[in-house]
Structure 1
Amino acid sequence: MSPTTMPARRRPRQTNFSAVTSSTRLHLCAVADDPEVRLRHVAALLAFTPTVRRIGNRMRIRFEHGPTALWLTEALANTDVDLIDVGGDGGTVEITKPQTVLGRYGFRDGRWVFGQGFNAALGISRGAVHAAGVFNGHGLKVACPSAPMMLTLTAVMARLGISAKPTEGDPRAAIAPADVPAALDRLGIAEVAEQYRRLRETSVMGDQS
């Protein structure tokens, strides 16, 4: 086989797994959160989203997933929160007074305090996956803003019965393919598990052909 044919075979699989990532985010926008869970879901979404910028006294967040930008705007429901743009290529949310608006979510002097307990663990895990979870044939990986945050996330997920391991190099919490369905079930979005399972089977079969 010519080396030039390999990318053509693999590109559709990457697109398919991207669809699973998008589906996961969409389901997390629709999942029923108790108020306490919702607080931590919002907090972790903002803490783990890599495209958060501080501009003067404002916070601007760019999402590659448009429905998530809309969800955050509706979840915050504050006059100091604006949905600047939203579309097929993502969306942008601007918070005019982040310290005031996000204080109840655990935002303290530029850092996040998440809280403890099962509801907090569920909300944090949902928010982290919502913000930075990416699927591929090797499972689910959640990019973390720092090594301490990676360790916090793996510990928090363990409280839910989710088997996530810290990675070397870039800080990520990694969930093995066999553990992905159970993890999605713990997050309350088991509907996505079958989609992931089918695509991974297709990917594995393609690799063996």
Structure 2
Amino acid sequence: MGPSKTRLTYPLADNTPKTLMLRYRDSFMSAYQIDEVTVDGAVHDAFLPCYLAVQVENRLGLPTQGFIYHFIDSKFAHEYKINTKPGAWNFSPTHSTSDSLSDDIIDLSLNFVLLPTKLKNAPVKQHLFYRQDKLIQDDFSDINDGWLTKNAVSIDTKALISALEEPLKRVNGSDDSNEINTPPSSNTRSKNRRYME
């Protein structure tokens, strides 16, 4: 499996299809509910936790305000509100859905987004979109494949997984082995690494 991968298993009484709900601490992450999960001993669904950064020209940084939107198969999955508490970068999911945006925050502080790398054995098309202001309901009527291609970041999960296997590269003149050169082009970064200019 390698050092960067974890397989979770659970004993079952029978092999009938199940519903899988992912949970973080005490909260269920409802958009990650998978119905009719096949129970046959093989891995059909996989996820990758990733830190998110905003790219400005050739620099990456953690946003300190705004909203992050996650779309799976061109459909809205999650809205995250970045918490503005100084010195503690994280964000919380909201109760927003594609039918109804909400200002209510789920009592859950995250520093990563869980990206599905495959669902039901199929690759997953997904996008992330960052904005300083919250989207309004009318904005959702304009969101389609073309809009996401133009405005959001397409997530290449194969490239992210490959990046986990790459050796770290020391920055010239640095004694800190955690400082590495700019990674392959993607606005999402693995939570297992720290990227610096």
TM, length-normalised to structure 1: 0.29
Which one has a larger percent helix, Structure 1 or Structure 2?
1
TM, length-normalised to structure 2: 0.30
Say which structure, 1 or 2, has more relative contact order (CA 8 Å, 6+ apart). 1
Which one has a larger percent strand, Structure 1 or Structure 2?
2
